[in-house]
Amino acid sequence: MQDFKDKVAVITGAANGIGLDIAKALIRQGCHVVVSDIHLQDAQARADQLGAMPDATASAIAIACDVTDVAQINALADKAWAHFGHVDALFNNAGVGGGMTPAVKTKEADLRWVFEVNFFGNWNTCMEFTRRFSEQGTPAHICNTASENSIGWPAPYMAGYNATKAAVLGYTGMLRMELPEAISISLLCPGWTQTEIANSGALRPETYGGPKPVRDTTPIEGDVTPYAVETVGAHTIEQIKQGAFYIFPHYAARHLAEERNDEISAAFDAQQTDVDDWQSHDTRTYFNRMIAAAQAKKGS
């Protein structure tokens, strides 16, 4: 998507943090925004503020949606299309931290909650909007929020959170190949950013154990500093316009990714198995043939 002017974007989890900063960047580009969040009151307050920004050149409305509920995702899409007549971009951003606990002490209910929001919520929203974008038949963009943890060093004592973000990377990479040409997709991988995410336990529903105590994340002297949230929105929009798949607003994440990639390459080099014959086992040949056959069938 090269131009957001007069387009319409739906952003989930947009009442705070990264989603809100993306909304600000979009509205400055003349893109109408749907500020969606599990908390309607907060979303409505943000939409009012966005619409009143002196440099706003488009409108903002609020629509409630808990992304763990498929019926609410459908209703979000229905209301967005009914209000604007078209939707051109989805920022699939809602997510929760889930707290810091050693993996063996993680309660299953906590793990399921984090997966419900960060993976199933993300997946279900993505699929619903993909279906509707396909029907609409005009160019559209989906930006899935993953994390630096998807591509690099895992966040400590957040095994469940890391697993959800790896899962978002896994399925988004595949969708990139499956989607029709008119629908582009990107993967936003922020580094540690100052937002409300450490407090997301306060949102945990009763079915998963109810609200959790808020963690004190005030940095102590000598700590690394989280990135300011303002580093994310404008960068993300610019990268989408330039056609990037991986969106990295924070260079610190490069070193985490490199460390992981270097370790993987070193392990392959040390284990030297079928170095002379690996090409004939490259699974991409097989999958590319499957994809080409499926696309040819669709076109016939």
Ligand X SMILES: NC(=O)c1ccc[n+]([C@@H]2O[C@H](COP(=O)([O-])OP(=O)(O)OC[C@H]3O[C@@H](n4cnc5c(N)ncnc54)[C@H](O)[C@@H]3O)[C@@H](O)[C@H]2O)c1
- Residues serving a catalytic function are 161
**Residue placing its CB nearer to ligand X in the complex, 203 or 234:** 203
Q: Quickly list H helices, 103-232.
A: 108-115, 122-136, 148-151, 159-178
- Rounded Cα gap, residues 288 and 133, in angstroms: 24
**Residue placing its CB nearer to ligand X in the complex, 112 or 136:** 112
Structure tokens at 258: 């490199």
**Residue placing its CB nearer to ligand X in the complex, 220 or 275:** 220
Residue type, 103: A
**Residue placing its CB nearer to ligand X in the complex, 136 or 157:** 157
Q: CB 192 → ligand X: shortest distance, Å?
A: 4
Q: Residue 33 CA to chain centroid, in angstroms?
A: 17
Per-residue b/e over 99-108, b at no fewer than 16 CB within 10 Å?
A: beeeeeebee
Give the list of residues 6+ apart from residue 121 with CB closer than 8 angstroms, or none. Answer: 12, 67, 68, 73, 94
Q: CB 288 → ligand X: shortest distance, Å?
A: 31
Q: CB 242 → ligand X: shortest distance, Å?
A: 21
**Residue placing its CB nearer to ligand X in the complex, 121 or 154:** 121
Instruction: Report the interface residues with ligand X, using CB under 6 A.
Output: 12-13, 15-19, 37-39, 65-68, 93-96, 117, 121, 145, 147, 190, 192-193, 195-197, 200, 203
Q: CB 182 → ligand X: shortest distance, Å?
A: 26
Q: CB 93 → ligand X: shortest distance, Å?
A: 5
Residue 238: count of CB within 10 angstroms of its CB: 14
- Rounded Cα gap, residues 174 and 123, in angstroms: 12
Of 135, 40, 1, which is closest to residue 78 (Cα–Cα)? 135
